[in-house]
Amino acid sequence: QVRLVESGGGSVQAGESLRLSCVASGITFKLYAMNWYRQAPGKERELVARISSVNLTYYADSVKGRFTISRDNAESTAYLQMNSLKPEDAAVYLCKAGNSLDFWGQGTQVTVST
């Protein structure tokens, strides 16, 4: 059974930082690209960052220079370090493991106040 569990969300003030984690089980983690998406109320889900199985990274323009995605294959965990958070970063953050099949976590809430 495949399971992805996100954690690390919370409520912060603008300018502060959070580190999200996504722990995977039931997959050969090192073979999967790991993705962080976010979805705010009334908005479409958007890709925030991706790290491939060979550690190539992609960031949405809105988070470049502020967010860093990383992975620890030994721990089957992907991370999203989020610095200089803005109110517009508030959303539910979800991780996705992508290969021939995609698997999603349930998400973790990030709230950013001014």
Q: What is the pLDDT of residues 7-18, one digit of tens each?
A: 999 999 999 999
- pLDDT (tens digit, 9 = 90+) per residue, 48-83? 999 999 999 999 999 999 999 999 999 999 999 999
**Residue with the two structure tokens 């993705």:** 35
The reported pLDDT for the residue numbered 30 is: 98
46 touches 96 (CB < 8 A): no
| CB burial of residue 40 (10 Å; 0-12, 13-18, 19+) | middle
Tokens of 56: 């190539």
* Cα distances (Å, whole numbers) of residue 62 to 1, 86, 107: 34, 10, 20
Q: What is the pLDDT of residue 43?
A: 96
Alpha-carbon span 1 to 110, nearest angstrom: 27
Residue 93: band (very low, low, confident or very high) from pLDDT cuts 50, 70, 90:
very high
